[in-house]
Amino acid sequence: MVYRDITRLGAKALLLLTLSVLILVTSCKTQEMETHWVAEPVQVDGEMTEWASGSTAYFEDLGVQLGLSNDNQNLYILFRFSNQAWARAIRMGGVTLWLDNSGKKKKDFGIRYTGGPPPSQLQKMGTSSGGGFRETLTPEQQQRLRDMEETAADQITVIDKKSTQEITLRPDGSGGPAACFASPQGTYTYEFSIPLEKSDVFSYAIGAEPGQVISLGLEWGGINKEDRQKMRNRMGGGMGGPPPGGMGGGPPGGMSGRPRGGADMQAPEKKELWVKTQLALPSAE
């Protein structure tokens, strides 16, 4: 009798486990995407000029457009969306680009780009200074604060699990990876260039060659406590005090599908997009 109960319980647990694994597997599915060969290096300027319509894909569930291309030297990535809250989150906490040359979803090597709309534009987007302190500063002090905020952003951080410390680089490509932000027609556009192979000049590269299958993950929003602290120090505190993990987030609520303002807009939940791709070969042009 007891044995039968235990067996029944075990079967139920197994069923639950299988279901959980199935849900997990389907929800974390890596999508496959084509990478296009480019004969000329792509200018990392946040402009769409070098991205033909066939070289990008639109991820409807997230509302994100992604473009991938490569030459012999670099992998070029285009990342576009129109969500203001995401742009703000990236300006504060960055967007992390994970690169796995084994084609899996390892987060061993990546670059985090912190950049986006300038503070003056962010304020137009409704970022509050909080508490009335900023408003009390004299115009000259406010200018000092703005200058400090301008210089604090727009940088690349190399995340290498083999290294104990994070390396900060200028986003102009002088250290290897390059990144740039632009917002043409109100669409937030981020462009990246990542060296395929390490060289004598820089050691931050994917470690892959044309034809190889790699995985690429983009992660943004849902900042952790440390990042929030850094971001607040940079932005001058306040920020409306979004709670850790936001206020529910998820799909826009309401009968009419209206998005919610307030804390949802200020602290969007973490988003992640993974794609698997085969780096293009010259012959594939």
Partner 1 sequence: MPWFSFQRVWWAAVFCTLILLLSLLPSCATAPSSLKYVGPVFDSQNPSRTKESFPDLWERWTVHLGGGMRSGKPWQLGNLFAMGGGQGGPGGEFPLQITATLMDTILIEAGLQHYATLVKMTPEEKTEFRHTYLEHYDAENHILIWCELFTTWAELHLDLDRWIIFIEDDADRQYEPVRILDESRPVRQTVGDRLSEFLPEQSRMRWEVHQKTCMLCFPKRDLLKNPVLSPKVKFLKLVFQLSDDEKTRAEGIWVFKK
Binding residues for partner 1, total number by CB under 8 A: 54
Among 1, 4, 5, 60, binds partner 1 (CB under 8 A): 60
Q: Which helix (H) or strand (E) holds 78?
A: strand 74-81
Phi, psi of 278 (to 5 degrees): -105, 125
Window 81-100: contact mask with partner 1 (x via CB under 8 A): xxxxx---------------
* Contact predicate 140/180, CB 8 Å: no
- Among 80, 68, 79, which Cα is nearest to 196's? 68
Site of tokens 């000049």: 201
Tokens of 210: 């044309």
Spatial distance between the Cα atoms of 193 and 178, rounded to a whole number of angstroms: 5
Instruction: Write down the least CB distance from residue 183 to partner 1, Å.
Output: 13
From 27, 164, 165, 256, residue interacting with partner 1 (rule: CB under 8 A): 256
Judge whether 236 and 119 are in contact, CB under 8 Å: no
Query: Quick one: which H or E segment has residue 59?
Result: strand 56-59
> Quick one: 102 or 187, whose CB is closer to partner 1?
187
Amino acid sitting at position 119: P
Nearer to partner 1, 51 or 204 (CB): 51
Task: Report the residue from 26, 255, 283, 285 that binds partner 1 according to the rule CB under 8 A.
Answer: 255
| Contact string 153-192 vs partner 1 (x = CB under 8 A) | ----------------------------------x-----
Task: Work out whether 115 is an interface residue with partner 1 (CB under 8 A).
Answer: no
Q: Which of 184, 245, 248, 282 binds partner 1 (CB under 8 A)?
A: 248
Nearer to partner 1 among residue 144 and residue 161 (C-beta) = 144
Among 167, 182, 213, 247, binds partner 1 (CB under 8 A): 247
In the region spanning residues 219 to 238, those forming contacts with partner 1, defined by CB under 8 A, are 228-229, 232-233, 236-238
Spell out the residues 6+ positions from residue 51 whose beta carbon is closer than 8 angstroms to its own. 67, 69, 78
- Contact call for residue 151 and partner 1 (CB under 8 A): no
Q: How far is the CB of 279 from partner 1 (least distance, A)?
A: 26
Retrieve residue 41's tokens.
């290096």
Q: Considering only residues 213, 263, 273, 281, which one is a binding residue for partner 1 as defined by CB under 8 A?
A: 263
**Cβ at position 226, least distance to partner 1 in Å:** 12
Q: How many CB atoms lie within 10 A of CB 196?
A: 22
Distance CA 215, CA 235 (A): 33
Total residue count of the chain as it appears in this document: 285
Say whether residue 133 binds partner 1 (CB under 8 A): yes
Structure tokens at 233: 């120090």
Distances (CA, A) of 67 to 5, 41, 70: 55, 15, 10
Residues binding partner 1 (CB under 8 A): 58, 60, 63-65, 80-85, 123-126, 128, 130-137, 141, 144-145, 148, 187, 228-229, 232-233, 236-238, 240-241, 243, 247-248, 252-256, 258-265
